[in-house]
Amino acid sequence: MPRFRLRIAYDGTDFHGWQRQEPADAPPLRTVQGVVQEAVADLLGTKVDVVGASRTDSGVHAVGQVAAFTADVRVPIERLAMAITARLPRDVVVLSAERVHDDFDPICDARSKCYRYTIEHSSHPHHPRPLFDRNTVFATPYALDAARMQRAAAGFVGTYDCVSFAQIDHGRATTVRSIFDCTVRTPAARRVEIEISASGFLYNMVRIVAGTLLEVGRGRIAPDAIPEIAAARDRRRAGPTLPPQGLCLRWIWYGALRTSPAEMQPCTE
């Protein structure tokens, strides 16, 4: 039976994350996986298991989530994305659909992922907090030094134990990850974008990295302290976990390996 890969975008504001959740004593929670599975089932007339590459949390957004399912699809492939989208709520869109090999695994076949965290900052009382993009930007009243943050961002790059930047109950067998790039940009006045790509991420890792860089931007953590914080393997040494609304999954890459096979970690997502 053929297998298909979907690229999905969604506004995570009104979702309980990606992963389907069915409490024993209550109706299923509204999740992205849940509404996508329902849309695909409605289109095909049969129940389908749609597996996503990243289990984004409540309130987290995506423009490059990847999911896959196996089914007998009679809709022409060039119309499949549009046909599924027509059955989805307005806060989810299937951007593309393609046929893939039968054993494609959106989780374990991923070689790198990229997230972006967006912050609006100001120390002036006459600069109002974001209004129209309030669900996709985290607002802080503190003025941030983006140059300090960029110097610190370079310290995250490498392959090492990232437990200092993970929630304590992360639930992973290994906390070693390869971080390929971490960049801080200033696309507009009082706005900072933190973009990080890695082989994979631990629970709340990007939000903790963003919180640590925010503390650097405020002057509370030195720009050259990141390697020391990582080496401590102590969550208390890093910055706070920032709220979910500033976080967006940008892309997932399935191409050739960026690192040698010896450096790649087993599938732990």
Q: Is 42 exposed, middle or buried (0-12, 13-18, 19+ CB in 10 A)?
A: middle
Q: Are residues 220 and 167 in the same domain?
A: yes
Q: Are residues 128 and 203 in the same domain?
A: yes
Q: pLDDT band at 269, cuts 50/70/90?
A: low
Domain boundary pick from 100, 129, 155: 100
What predicted TM-score, i.e. pTM, was given to this entire model?
A: 0.92
What is the sign of the dihedral through the CA atoms of 158, 191, 65 and 173? positive
Give the count of beta carbons closer than 10 Å to the beta carbon of residue 73.
Answer: 20
CA atoms within 13 A on the CB side of 101: 5
* Nearest in space to 58 (alpha carbons), one of 29, 82, 83, 35: 29
**Where are the alpha helices (H) located in the chain, listed in sequence order?**
32-44, 77-85, 146-153, 205-218, 226-232
Number of domains in the chain: 2
Percent of the chain with pLDDT over 70: 93
Q: Are residues 135 and 191 in the same domain?
A: yes
- 14: pLDDT strictly greater than 60: yes
Q: In this predicted structure, what is the pLDDT of residue 168? A: 83
* Nearest in space to 29 (alpha carbons), one of 40, 39, 18, 45: 18
Q: In this predicted structure, what is the pLDDT of residue 123? A: 65
Q: Are residues 94 and 144 in the same domain?
A: no
Q: What is the pLDDT of residues 33-65, one digit of tens each?
A: 999 999 999 999 999 999 999 999 999 999 999
Domain boundary pick from 51, 66, 100: 100
Q: Are residues 190 and 234 in the same domain?
A: yes
Range of the domain at 196: 112-263
Q: Are residues 117 and 74 in the same domain?
A: no
Q: Are residues 44 and 91 in the same domain?
A: yes
Residues with Cβ within 8 Å of residue 192, at least 6 apart in sequence: 118, 119, 121, 144, 146, 149, 184, 185, 186, 217
How far apart are alpha carbons 183 and 160 in whole angstroms?
A: 18
Domain boundary pick from 68, 100, 132: 100
Q: pLDDT band at 265, cuts 50/70/90?
A: very low
The chain-wide mean pLDDT, for the chain, equals 93
Percent of the chain with pLDDT over 90: 85
Q: What is the pLDDT of residues 192-230, one digit of tens each?
A: 999 999 999 999 999 999 999 999 999 999 999 999 999
Query: Known catalytic residues?
Result: 57
Is residue 124 a contact partner of residue 249, using CB atoms and an 8 Å limit? no
Q: Given the structure tokens 């329902």, which residue do they identify?
A: 38
91, part of any domain: yes
Q: What is the pLDDT of residues 123-177, one digit of tens each?
A: 676 778 888 999 999 999 999 999 999 999 999 999 999 999 998 876 778 999 9
Phi and psi at residue 65, to the nearest 5°? -65, 145
User: CATH code at 243?
Assistant: 3.30.70.660
* Nearest in space to 60 (alpha carbons), one of 242, 253, 268, 254: 242
